[in-house]
């Protein structure tokens, strides 16, 4: 599970959903365009919600890992829709860089 910070909100998402969002946001930024994406999440109060996020080059989207063994089920339909939109915009280009920022902790 990933902790996603967006527009002052704190959300939890399946790893694949959060990773697809951040990658799509990167591609949108490169193309200087925007899109609204709807995905399932859990809010800070622990309630399952559906969120629509406007992704553009100014969107502050932070995705961080969650320590422990918290899990949530993936939503293949929303992940596939994000990938479909990404491919339509960016063609057959590969995914995000393997290691975008070498970081030593």
pLDDT of 4-53, one tens digit each?
A: 999 889 999 999 999 999 999 999 998 999 999 999 999 999 999 999 99
Residue 72 token pair:
């949530």
- Which pTM does this prediction carry? 0.79
CA distance linking residue 9 with residue 29, whole number of Å:
21
Distance separating the N- and C-terminal Cα atoms of the chain: 21
pLDDT-based confidence at 59, cuts 50/70/90?
confident
Helix, strand, coil percent content, the chain, rounded in steps of 5:
30, 30, 40
């Amino acid at each position: 599970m990933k902790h996603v910070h967006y527009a002052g909100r704190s959300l939890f998402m399946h790893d694949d959903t959060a990773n697809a969002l951040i990658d799509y946001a990167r591609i949108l930024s490169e193309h200087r365009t925007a899109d609204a994406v709807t995905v399932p999440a859990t809010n800070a109060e622990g309630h399952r919600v559906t969120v629509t996020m406007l992704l553009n080059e100014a969107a502050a989207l932070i995705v961080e890992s969650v320590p422990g063994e918290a899990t949530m089920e993936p939503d293949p339909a929303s992940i596939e829709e994000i990938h479909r939109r990404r491919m339509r915009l960016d063609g057959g280009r590969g995914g995000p860089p393997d290691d975008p920022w070498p970081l030593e902790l």
